[in-house]
Amino acid sequence: MDFLPVLPDHEALDCRLPAHQTVPVVVASPHSGSTYPAAFLEQAAVSLAALRRAEDAFVDELFAAAPSLGMPFLAARFPRSYVDANREPYELDPGMFEGPLPRPLNHRTTRVAAGLGMIPRVAASGEAIYRGRVPAETIEHRLETCWRPYHQTLSLLVENTYSSFGGALLIDAHSMPSSVSSLGSRDRDQRVDIVLGDNHGEACAPELVAAAERWFRARGLHVLRNQPYAGGFTTQRYGRPALARHTLQIEINRALYMDEARHEKLPVAGVFARLITGLLEEMGQQARETLRPRPLAAE
């Protein structure tokens, strides 16, 4: 499948298309962006290092082979602490803002209560990001320059895939802090390497989730489903198995490929990237088999 029309080259996005799409898979990384606007850094009450701890650092590099495997790839260039593309557009804390709000905000969510709305209130450390209230016009500005371009492009990639193959699998790629996974424990069985999120069975065909789990487990990785991450806005919005649109969130323990304190890749990062390439190959084959349009039953 060739992409027509050609997608716009948007400064907030890293969109890489295969010369020819051969499998019904789209790969996306909403949280690996690391381009921090100067005005945002001037507003911030915390250091750049503190802001960077929210990044899914290097996840875009781990999944970078997607286009060479016939899969479109999309990554946000903007950082998660600036705009979180895995949230609803108006999932925000009204107390953060000064001035008239553009519309009523969805503030009664656990994510907003934790300070992690579409415009996050706190850094990964729990410290307040901003020195004071943020001008309310910031909401529409960040939606228009970051959130909407990301989801407009992602929607187009998914729909183009569905139109050509009769089904689509979106792999939503993330990483998780090792502190969440008990990686420091001496008990190997307590470590969690991978969390597969399918919104508790609502977002992805069970055959596809099972295929990913088998593939990781066969390589000695400890896998959980939906704990502690079942998926965010992306999984909920794009995962519609009844409509042949599937979404699988993959969370990778950062300590497998990076030094979290130094924010640097480990020497084994290249090896782990090849492992992820193998996963993508496997999921491409599984998606072709699982999402193949079925002939209509005879009357």
pLDDT digit string (tens) for 113-130? Answer: 999 999 999 999 999 999
Residue 102 DSSP code? S
What radius of gyration, in Å, describes the C-alpha atoms of the chain? 19
Whether the per-residue pLDDT at 8 is higher than 70: the answer is: no
Residues paired with residue 187 on neighbouring β-strands, in sequence order: none
Average pLDDT, the chain: 93
Exposure class string for 225-236: b at 16+ Cβ within 10 A, else e? bbeebbbbbbbb
pLDDT tens by residue, 165-208: 999 999 999 999 998 866 444 445 578 999 999 999 999 999 99
Distance CA 71, CA 65 (A): 9
The confidence score (pLDDT) of residue 177 equals 95
pTM of the model: 0.93
Residue 78 has pLDDT above 60, yes or no: yes
Q: Distance (Å, rounded) from C-alpha 134 to C-alpha 57?
A: 26
pLDDT for 297 = 44
| Each residue's pLDDT tens digit, 57-74 | 999 999 999 999 999 999
Output the pLDDT for position 184: 45
- C-alpha closest to that of 118 among 145, 86, 96, 95: 86
pLDDT at position 155, please? Answer: 97
Between CA 173 and CA 198 the distance in angstroms is: 12
Give pLDDT, residue 181: 66
Residues 138-169 have pLDDT tens digits of 999 999 999 999 999 999 999 999 999 999 99
**pLDDT(1) > 80:** no
Q: How many helices (H) and strands (E) are present in the chain, helices listed first? A: 9, 11
Q: Is the pLDDT of residue 285 over 90?
A: yes
pLDDT at 4 over 60: no
Residues above pLDDT 70, as percent of the chain: 92
pLDDT band at 10 (very low <50, low <70, confident <90, very high): confident
